[in-house]
Structure 1
Amino acid sequence: MMARLETRSWRSARRLAVAAMALVLVACASGPDKPQPAELSPNAALISVRLAWSARVSPVRYPLDVDVSGATVTVAGSDGSVAAFDSGSGAEQWRASVGADIGGGVGSDGRYTAVVTRTNELVVLERGRELWREKLGALSFTAPLVAGERVFAMTADRVVSAYDARSGRRLWSYARQGDFPLALRQSSVMLPVGDTLVVGISGRLVGINPLTGSLRWESPIATARGTNDVERLVDLVGRVSRDGNVVCARAFQAAIGCVDTTRGNLLWSRPAAGANGIHGDGEMIFGTESDGKVIAWRRSNGEPAWTSDRLRYRGLTAPLAIGRSVAVGDATGLVHFLSRQDGSLLTRMSTDGSPIVAAPVLAGNTLVVVTQNGGVFGFRPD
């Protein structure tokens, strides 16, 4: 079984490289004219936000997921450094190095912290002290999930595995047969909902029994279409919006949709051309499209509520719904706070001038963003 997985992983890795080259060629052939970022209007400063604290890790050049567990924010730099900070004060709780560049992370439950290195090792720390590491069968760009004394990892060949958090013993692996061979170099979907592990596999949300690894249900948000492998990529990407048992997610450059995870029923799906995850609340879902439009959809049926063109071509992150605003980072290190009602600007804050590389997160009453240069910034309303 392991030999078959390794062969499949090697073939997947080769196809990933071909796809990456194809994407480069497409970009080079698209012409010299690059759309100019939208000019920013004067800062309205309609709400009062201040920088509460800042910290630093090494530069980040991989698909980082910032982990929030209670009052602890955990981040990791590309060089293998992992650090945990108190979300209230920014004080460093611990810092460690896993000794290799990181490809996917961070996942934590406050006690155990997990990352995946670019040498395909799943590394688990306990409050900064390494407990164990395990070789995976392929690359991984998705942050591990730590929950219920278990660590769950998903590799680029779409194999999901569970490990005992304390000992590192592998408990089970799940692989969907006959799946699409290519995968994105982006973080996918993996979260617990009740007693089900919900993961993104190609364009589907899949429900897995976390105790046994058996399949419970699967629900397609998008179906692969196109004339070549690159065009047919519809992997689920980035963060999701969860409200109770309903999880809404984005399929890369294809669609957004919502699934009732009780039985895996697709509630609705509609076309959307974005590459980052989404966020929302009980009424609305917010997302950024590839051209920088920010869109709000009604959670009940997916109908658009508003669209904002104010930040087009500014290299936006996935958004964060926070109170009456929607926060989104851009490629110049700015954090924009938009009105959840109509997308109008409420205020904006600056960081260190390098791109915001991960979706903003909320830890207590502090909004935390991380930049490509390794800056960690905590913002708080006055």
Structure 2
Amino acid sequence: MTVFSHTCTRWTLLGALALSIAACSSAPDKPKPAALPSVSGQLAVQKAWSNTVGPVTTPLFASVHGDQVAVASTQGQVALIDAASGKDVWRLQLDSPIQAGVSGDGQRFAVITRNNEVVAMEAGKVVWRYRLPALSYTAPVVAGARVFVLTADRAVTALDGASGQKLWSQQRTGDPLVLQQAGLLMPLGDTLLAGWGGRLAALNPNTGGVLWETLVGSSRGTNEVERLVDLVAGASRQGQTVCVRAFQSSVACVDGSRGATLWTRPAQGHEGLDGDDKLVFGVESDSKVLAWQRQGGQPAWTQDALRFRGLSAPLVLGRSVVMGDDNGLVHFLSRQDGQALQRLSTDGSAITGKPVAAGQTLVVVTRAGGVFGFRPE
């Protein structure tokens, strides 16, 4: 199994023997971003607070639990923050760097370390560890008194939430390459959805049995890199409809109750989606922002004024679609037509993961480790 990073040409062979080829230095210069568009000023947003967690260089996401948000740094710091005040509820320094996370159910939280360990925490203390047989780049799912993990060998494993005991594992073979970024793993009612290559699968969380599978993205191209297809973290759910992205291939909406594909559209992006009951929003790899009709998938609008700014996955917040960029800016676009409403700055380093909303507060995390809370008025 080989791991591919879309940020540069780098392959890593999993196992005892590792081979790394770095070609970032010879990559063409990144296109120059266009001038920032003027904002309408129709949306007032105030900075509420700031905190720090430490540099983030691995696939880490903020996790929302009511009015609290859990964040983590690559060097092993995990914090649960009150989103109203920005103050720590608790903070813990692990003894190993963190590869994927953080997630939780409000009481129990979990991350995956670079030592291939799932680490479960409660009230700021480690309660158990479980050694995985393979790397993982995907935040665990903590739900139903269990912890579910998707590893890079395309295996889904269920662990008992209280003890960490392995309950079951289900695996699918696939292409020799997998993305070195977070894959798709999420609950949907009483099922667990997982991305296996270009397929979306629904699993029974009690047994690991496969309830259905459906093809979302197909392999294409003339070599392994061009044929790489994986579902990425970040899906837009409305009721039983789930809209997902296949890496650099397509966006699709699926009926989660029976696995039927409702529509598919070509899309060249690598970040997840968000949406509301009418539209689905996504960012292409050149930072063009697209909106599709949730019913039928017809294009609704396109905004290309932020191209080449390295936009994050979007967040639907009020009447806005919110994204961060590589320069630490937070952009608010109109859900209705994509026009720029507001723009805010953080610490100048890239926004990581995606913005999240906890209570009345918008929270973003930067690569330098800044955690910022904003409140739309």
Structure 1 residue aligned with 2:121:
125
Of 61, 68, 86, which aligns to 2:64? 68
Unpaired segments of 5 or more residues in structure 1? Answer: 1-10
Give the counterpart letter for 1:219 in structure 2.
Answer: T
| Deviation by residue 1:43-96 (Cα, 9 ceiling, x = unmatched) | 432211001111110110011111001111000000011000011111200001
Structure 2 residue aligned with 1:273:
268
Return the offset for 1:13: 5.9
| Deviation by residue 1:310-349 (Cα, 9 ceiling, x = unmatched) | 1000010000011111001000000000011111110111
* Structure 1 segment 71-220 matched on structure 2, within 5 A: 71-176=67-172, 178-220=173-215
Structure 2 residue aligned with 1:47:
43
CA distance in 1, matches of 2:11, 2:212: 27
Structure 1 residue aligned with 2:288:
293
CA distance in 2, matches of 1:192, 1:41: 38
Give the counterpart letter for 1:70 in structure 2.
Answer: G
**1:157–1:181: 8 Å Cα contact kept in structure 2?**
no
SS at match of 2:352: coil
Return the offset for 1:35: 0.7
**1:154–1:161: 8 Å Cα contact kept in structure 2?**
yes
**2:2–2:13: 8 Å Cα contact kept in structure 1?**
no
CA distance in 1, matches of 2:209, 2:233: 24
**1:113–1:127: 8 Å Cα contact kept in structure 2?**
no
SS at match of 1:332: coil
Structure 2 residue aligned with 1:35:
31
Return the offset for 1:234: 1.2
Return the offset for 1:24: 4.5
Give the counterpart letter for 2:235 in structure 1.
Answer: V
**2:157–2:167: 8 Å Cα contact kept in structure 1?**
yes
Return the offset for 1:145: 0.5
| Deviation by residue 1:143-196 (Cα, 9 ceiling, x = unmatched) | 0000010000111111100011111111000101x3222110111111111110
Of 297, 301, 321, which aligns to 1:302? 297
**1:259–1:268: 8 Å Cα contact kept in structure 2?**
yes
CA distance in 2, matches of 1:148, 1:311: 40
**1:292–1:315: 8 Å Cα contact kept in structure 2?**
yes
Of 335, 339, 344, which aligns to 2:330? 335
Query: 1:22–1:45: structure 2 CA closer, same or farther, 3 Å change rule?
Result: farther
Residues 1:369 and 2:364 aligned together: yes
CA distance in 2, matches of 1:41, 1:112: 42
CA distance in 2, matches of 1:128, 1:28: 41
Return the offset for 1:302: 1.0
Figure out how many residues of one structure are paired with residues of the other and give that number. 369
CA distance in 2, matches of 1:28, 1:184: 20
SS at match of 2:12: helix
Return the offset for 1:238: 2.1
SS at match of 1:302: coil
Of 298, 303, 314, which aligns to 1:319? 314
Return the offset for 1:227: 1.2
Structure 2 residue aligned with 1:245:
240
RMSD across aligned positions (CA) = 1.8
CA distance in 2, matches of 1:314, 1:94: 34
Residues 1:360 and 2:337 aligned together: no
CA distance in 2, matches of 1:23, 1:38: 32
**1:69–1:109: 8 Å Cα contact kept in structure 2?**
yes
SS at match of 1:206: strand
CA distance in 2, matches of 1:18, 1:121: 19
Structure 1 residue aligned with 2:340:
345
Q: Equivalent pairs: percent with the same residue? A: 52
State TM-score, norm by structure 1.
Answer: 0.93
Query: 1:287–1:81: structure 2 CA closer, same or farther, 3 Å change rule?
Result: same
CA distance in 2, matches of 1:228, 1:28: 22
**1:336–1:349: 8 Å Cα contact kept in structure 2?**
yes
Give the counterpart letter for 2:372 in structure 1.
Answer: F
Give the counterpart letter for 1:167 in structure 2.
Answer: S
| Deviation by residue 1:101-152 (Cα, 9 ceiling, x = unmatched) | 1110011101111000011111000121101111101111100000010000
State TM-score, norm by structure 2.
Answer: 0.94
CA distance in 2, matches of 1:295, 1:91: 36
Query: 1:82–1:254: structure 2 CA closer, same or farther, 3 Å change rule?
Result: same
SS at match of 1:360: strand
Return the offset for 1:231: 0.9
Structure 1 residue aligned with 2:217:
222
